Amino acid sequence: MILASPKLEPRACWKFTAEVLILHHPTTIWTGYQAMVHAGPIRQTATIIEIKGCDRLRTGDKDEVRFQFIKQPEYLKKGMRLVFREGKTKAVG
């Protein structure tokens, strides 16, 4: 839930695209990989549904990734920073 002016026309979304940099991952990240997304007040598991530039990501890779939230839609603003993590896997976007 958010508190926002109606002038902003806030809309919750299930899917979003982010440019991410993989800081560390012991193996390879593929479509279908799930991890926790932290973006502002948002803390929710999301699934990678598409990797734009290639079919996989490894440590040091930077690419545009399409995510889908698992439990509920969330309000995201364009340009919002995020951290994507699970276990030893860490990525920023």
* pLDDT per position as a tens digit, 3-46: 777 777 777 899 999 999 999 999 999 999 999 999 999 999 99
pTM attached to this predicted model:
0.88
List the helix and strand counts (H, then E) for the chain: 0, 10
Comparing CA positions, the residue from 30, 22, 23, 17 lying closest to residue 65 is 17
CB 86 within 8 A of CB 16: no
**Cα dihedral 21→53→45→40 (10° resolution):** 50
Q: Does domain 10-92 have CATH number 3.90.1530.10?
A: no
Mean model confidence pLDDT for the chain: 92
Q: What is the mean pLDDT of residues 51-74?
A: 96
CB 20 within 8 A of CB 58: no
